[in-house]
Amino acid sequence: MRVNISYSIDLEEMIETASKLIDDIVVKEGERILDKVAVIQKRLAEESNVNEAIVEIKNLRSSLAMVDMRLSECSELLVGYQRILFNDDISSNKYDQLQKNIEHLQDQVETQMESLQPKGLSSDEEG
């Protein structure tokens, strides 16, 4: 039975964590997969052992499914990682644009304030 777990890591550790997850499944299942392929080939060479080859193929497919599931999980992690990076870039760009808009509005307000002052009076003479 498979269960989902969750824990947090630093964003900077995401690539390394995904890489470790892939390494773990390759170490765990890689040699088994190669062994199962060799057994299947041996069973098929012995035409009388086709039923055993079918059983081994089923076992091989289970191992491959575990690898595929881990690769899918890592892919989802990395897609999420890219989204975070992309959104951070967007947020940064939005902040920069907002800052420019604020500066532009401040300039407009100053211009409007200057146009409202009576001609011939400086801002020091008003008070």
For 53-72, what is the mean pLDDT? 92
Task: Look at residue 98 and tell me whether its pLDDT is greater than 60.
Answer: yes
Task: Look at residue 112 and tell me whether its pLDDT is greater than 80.
Answer: no
**pLDDT value, residue 35:** 92
For 24-53, what is the mean pLDDT? 89
**pLDDT value, residue 26:** 86
Lookup: tokens for 68: 């595929």
Query: Any residues with CB less than 8 A from the CB of 64 and at least 6 apart, and which?
Result: 33
Out of 1-10, 22-31, 67-76, which region has the weakest mean confidence (pLDDT)? 1-10
